[in-house]
Amino acid sequence: MQNHLFQLDSEGGLSLQQQIKQKLITAIGNGFYPPGSRMPSSRKLADQLDVARNTVVHVFAALVDEGYLESRERSGFFVCDAPAPATVAAPPRQDQHQLDWGRYLKRTPPQPLARSYPDNWHKYPYPFIDGQFDPSLFPTNPWRECSRLSLGVDAIHDWASDGANRDDPLLVEEIRTKVLPRRGIQANPEEILITVGSQQALYLLMRLLADESTLVAMEEPGFPGMRQLVQLMGSKLALVEVDQKGIEVDSIPRGADLVYVTPSHQVPTAVTLSMERRQALLAQAEAEDFLIIEDDYESESNFVSNPHPALKSLDGSGRVLYFSSFSKVLAPGLRLGYLVGPAPLIARARALRSQILRHPPTNNQRTLGLFLSLGHYDTMMRKLNAELSERWTELREALNHYLPTAVVTSRTVGGSSCWIQGPAELGSQELADEAAKRGILMEPVQRFFGDPRTPQNALRLGVSSIPTEQIRPGIAELATLFWALSDAPRQQLDQSTGQKLDAHTLKEHLANCEFLGRTVFGDPYRIRLYPDGTMEGWEGRRDERSDTGQWWLEGDRWYRQWQSWSYGEVAGFEVVLDHNRILWFRDGNLVDSAFFSRLG
């Protein structure tokens, strides 16, 4: 027992003294050392635990101070008679006959959807999941500093009191003046409510604005938590398709009362709602008299180009109810979010919040307020965006390199995840299950669909929890698995219909030519080969990215090496020309294809 009691744990973050103290208190509390009994000597305990005797002496002294032990001269330490406040004498617990709870429950809330990846996801080498905490991005030292400041005597007095319905004025002001303006939103303090994460903002809105008579329209695929809330409120649900420009505004049914959207990066496809669609949505809200719920869960991770202004910032009539949180940029466990809307609605949401839980914990509000006011948020966002941008670019590169003919992805502008569609025959659940066995986690996407006729070939890859250097090997491994599992016959060189080029025809056709293709992200690319063995490449609608490289022939194969594209590695291909298309094969399998034309 004693040995079992004192399993000291070097990983828990507690000092030896703290651990010993914790376990001794437990042992006293559960009667292992009964009141009045003599404790083992500090020497004996120290020997048993293999710690310095002084360590045990300090623990005993602390336990005397705190009223657990008393020291008797020359006799040692004894457990106090009443080491803990009186425990109530209660009859032993009877085996309860179970009530039939079905008779008492007025409603059964939907069971929250299980996560699509295991709890120990961080033990996997390739966790392509989204929205989880990445300790390497958490601003540990600044957060500690602000926590310490929030534990100053004056600060404690401020936050520890019952603040009734008020939020921390510092946090509200910082959100108002530093966070919202980056999304183009101007708001007064009475238009802002702090919430326990963004889920609470959404619950408050739904509880205020939706009942059995309400028609709620939302994106399909879309955020499953929203579908559950619609179900909880008993409202009617309309699913509206999403394309490369976001929700298809024209398809929103007449009579919709509430329209829920994720414009910044649509959940789960990560596409950004286009500016024209934004204007159209607002105009339609006005014409059809519906309200818009804007879920800006990711807010600022739109690092690739200038982000679009939030719908809320374009909203002339107060129809847009906006919410976001610090879960993605700081840590989900803190549960701090905010709701922005017209003052009369916010006042009602504040009243409802009070009935539900009074207010979000004020110590966390104060810590975050200090964090923002001391400029740590800006610094953290720069770091976070730089890191996510690097990872996202790496994922894009890897997908183009390893799976170019296999998948297409949604066109995204930044964000921390990538929505992928494989060949129609792909079973994404089977692929995910097999991938997990090889250390690769990715999210099958059935849960995002409200319509039971879910496509089986889509999946989502996230980069918010995987280090950059793991992305390439993860995708390489995934590609191997993908082809091994794929039922789709991969196009083979020996069944190809065009003309297989040999050393001679390769030189003839390729010496001065252009390839026009499309990346897995749907962006166009253009590559020019020159007679001197150099080449240039451009990618993107506005040639946003470019690179140069070398090409040459070895026997019947065409070789190329970019400066930075495709990891700057040498790669050789067999080449087939089929009318105006060029096809590249490696090991007899099709790798990529493009339109081909001669230059000059």
CA distances for 75 relative to 39, 53, 59, 307, angstroms: 10, 17, 17, 73
Query: Which 321-350 positions form the footprint of a second copy (CB under 8 A)?
Result: 327, 331-336, 342, 344-345, 348
CA distances for 70 relative to 17, 36, 129, angstroms: 18, 9, 54
Among 52, 351, 503, 570, which residue sits at the site for a second copy (rule: CB under 8 A)? 351
Using CB under 8 A, which of the segments 45-53, 89-97, 535-543, 559-567 binds a second copy? Answer: 89-97
Query: Which 119-138 positions form the footprint of a second copy (CB under 8 A)?
Result: 122, 131-133, 135, 138
Among 108, 554, 587, 600, which residue sits at the site for a second copy (rule: CB under 8 A)? 108
Residue type, 238: A
Between the two ends of the chain, the Cα-to-Cα distance in Å is 87
Query: Which 257-286 positions form the footprint of a second copy (CB under 8 A)?
Result: 257
Residue 69 near residue 60, CB atoms below 8 Å:
yes
Residue 237 near residue 255, CB atoms below 8 Å:
no
Question: Binding to a second copy by residue 88, rule CB under 8 A?
Answer: yes
Could you give the CA distance from residue 509 to residue 549 in angstroms, rounded to a whole number? 18
Considering beta carbons, is residue 77 or 558 the nearer one to a second copy? 77
**Closest CB 359 distance from a second copy, rounded Å:** 7
Beta bridge partners, 514, equal 528, 597
Binding characters for a second copy, 24-43, by CB under 8 A (x = yes) = -xx--xx-------------
Considering beta carbons, is residue 351 or 570 the nearer one to a second copy? 351
Residue type, 120: N
Considering beta carbons, is residue 315 or 443 the nearer one to a second copy? 315
Question: Binding to a second copy by residue 115, rule CB under 8 A?
Answer: yes
- 94, HSE (Cβ side, Cα atoms, 13 Å): 4
Among 276, 378, 508, 544, which residue sits at the site for a second copy (rule: CB under 8 A)? 378
Residue 331 near residue 317, CB atoms below 8 Å:
no
Using CB under 8 A, which of the segments 36-44, 374-382, 432-440, 483-491 binds a second copy? Answer: 374-382
Question: Binding to a second copy by residue 13, rule CB under 8 A?
Answer: yes
Residue 17 near residue 54, CB atoms below 8 Å:
no
Among 358, 490, 507, 579, which residue sits at the site for a second copy (rule: CB under 8 A)? 358
Question: Binding to a second copy by residue 291, rule CB under 8 A?
Answer: yes
Considering beta carbons, is residue 101 or 250 the nearer one to a second copy? 101
Using CB under 8 A, which of the segments 43-51, 80-88, 274-282, 520-528 binds a second copy? Answer: 80-88
Question: Binding to a second copy by residue 228, rule CB under 8 A?
Answer: yes
Question: Binding to a second copy by residue 149, rule CB under 8 A?
Answer: yes
Cα dihedral 342, 345, 350, 353 sign: negative
Q: Which residues contact 45 (CB under 8 A, 6 or more apart)?
A: 39, 56
Question: Binding to a second copy by residue 467, rule CB under 8 A?
Answer: no
SS3 168: coil
Q: What angle do CA 168, 169, 175 make, to 5 degrees?
A: 95
- 393, HSE (Cβ side, Cα atoms, 13 Å): 15
Binding characters for a second copy, 187-226, by CB under 8 A (x = yes) = --------xxx-xx--x---xxxxx--x----------x-
Using CB under 8 A, which of the segments 61-69, 453-461, 491-499, 542-550 binds a second copy? Answer: 61-69
Query: Which 301-320 positions form the footprint of a second copy (CB under 8 A)?
Result: 306-310, 313-319
Could you give the CA distance from residue 379 to residue 464 in angstroms, rounded to a whole number? 18
Place of tokens 């027992």: 1
Considering beta carbons, is residue 74 or 123 the nearer one to a second copy? 123
Considering beta carbons, is residue 132 or 496 the nearer one to a second copy? 132
Considering beta carbons, is residue 83 or 268 the nearer one to a second copy? 83
Query: Which 404-423 positions form the footprint of a second copy (CB under 8 A)?
Result: none
**Closest CB 326 distance from a second copy, rounded Å:** 11
CA distances for 89 relative to 35, 93, 157, angstroms: 16, 12, 37
**Closest CB 124 distance from a second copy, rounded Å:** 14
**Closest CB 370 distance from a second copy, rounded Å:** 8
CA distances for 101 relative to 94, 97, 104, 111, angstroms: 19, 12, 5, 16
Question: Binding to a second copy by residue 388, rule CB under 8 A?
Answer: no
Residue 593 near residue 582, CB atoms below 8 Å:
yes
Among 40, 125, 163, 439, which residue sits at the site for a second copy (rule: CB under 8 A)? 163
Tell which residue, 301, 329, 361, has the closest CA to residue 147: 361
Residue type, 553: L
* Residues near a second copy (CB under 8 A), total: 141
Considering beta carbons, is residue 75 or 355 the nearer one to a second copy? 355
Q: What is the SS3 string spanning 456-513?
A: CCEEEEECCCCCHHHHHHHHHHHHHHHHHHCCCCCCEHHHCCCEECCHHHHHHHHCCE
Q: How far is CA 132 from the centre of its chain?
A: 5
**Closest CB 40 distance from a second copy, rounded Å:** 18
Considering beta carbons, is residue 342 or 427 the nearer one to a second copy? 342
User: b/e per residue, 229-252, with b = 16+ CB within 10 A?
Assistant: bbebbebbbbbbebeebbbebeeb
Among 3, 355, 495, 497, which residue sits at the site for a second copy (rule: CB under 8 A)? 355
